[in-house]
């Protein structure tokens, strides 16, 4: 068991806690921010690959794994992405070392025989039912993309997830002729904390959750 990331000692204030320690929780959640400014530092491909390998372990319906991603980093790719961005997202996206197009594959079920081997015919649940396949692809693809944000933080990178783009233009520029569709964008790099504004408030537990 990892001695750094897990709380091994008995915590009298929180005896129920046996998971990640506070430093790890700060990294993943409490002190993590959505960044809008970036340091002039390249992002190693190895870290992006590691983040994908972590995120793919997240759950998806019947292990369908519809999550797909394109990492936009070259000048040519940024030029293709730029016209699809809303005006308020252009500057920070062009300045980011990498922008990930988070996407999902409507044809995910073609891979189900390998991904769901105990029922190789599971793809038939989705083939021929476009609405069900699209709902599953978007739900599970979004879930895995959320894991990807946590994975980026876990490997030491910062993330700036955002909407504010024309998905049809992105799909035409990057996924034409495929069954892949864009979902949202994440700017990735090493955040410039001098450009952060104070964290906005969050809802209290009782405003979010209830026990039934």
> Positive or negative CA dihedral for 73, 94, 190, 5?
negative
Q: Is the pLDDT of residue 3 over 50?
A: no
Q: How many domains does the chain have?
A: 1
Q: Mean of the pLDDT values across residues 145-163? A: 98
User: Over the stretch 71-108, which tens digit does the pLDDT of each residue have?
Assistant: 999 999 999 999 999 999 999 999 999 999 999 999 99
Residues ≥6 apart with Cβ < 8 Å to 93: 78, 81, 82, 85, 99, 185, 187
* pLDDT bracket for residue 209 (50, 70, 90): very high
**Distance between CA 103 and CA 108 in Å, rounded?**
12
Query: CATH no. for residue 163?
Result: 3.40.109.10
Instruction: Tell me, yes or no, whether 209 lies in a domain.
Output: no
Instruction: Tell me, yes or no, whether 11 lies in a domain.
Output: no
Instruction: Tell me, yes or no, whether 81 lies in a domain.
Output: yes
Structural domain for 143, as ranges: 41-191
User: Over the stretch 101-151, which tens digit does the pLDDT of each residue have?
Assistant: 999 999 999 999 999 999 989 999 999 899 999 999 999 999 999 999 999
| Structural contact between residues 181 and 104, judged by C-beta atoms closer than 8 angstroms | yes
């Amino acid at each position: 068991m990892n001695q750094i990331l897990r709380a091994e000692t008995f915590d009298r204030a929180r005896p129920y806690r046996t998971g990640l320690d506070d430093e790890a929780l700060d990294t993943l959640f409490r002190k993590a921010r959505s960044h809008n400014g970036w340091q002039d530092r390249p992002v190693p491909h190895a870290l992006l690959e590691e983040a994908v390998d972590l995120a793919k372990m997240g759950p998806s319906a019947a292990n369908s794994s519809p999550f797909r991603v394109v990492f936009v980093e070259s000048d040519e790719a940024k030029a293709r992405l730029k016209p699809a961005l809303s005006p308020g997202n252009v500057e920070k996206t062009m300045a980011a070392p990498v922008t990930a197009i988070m996407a999902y594959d409507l044809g995910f079920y073609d891979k189900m025989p390998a991904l769901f081997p105990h029922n190789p015919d599971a793809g038939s649940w989705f083939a021929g039912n476009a609405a069900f396949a699209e709902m599953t692809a978007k739900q599970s693809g979004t879930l895995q993309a959320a894991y990807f944000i946590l994975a980026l933080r876990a490997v030491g990178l910062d993330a700036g997830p955002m909407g504010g783009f024309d998905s049809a233009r992105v799909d035409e520029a990057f996924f034409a002729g495929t069954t892949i569709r864009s979902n949202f964008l994440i700017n990735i790099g090493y955040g410039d904390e001098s450009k952060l504004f104070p964290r906005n408030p969050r809802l209290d537990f009782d405003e979010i959750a209830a026990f039934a």
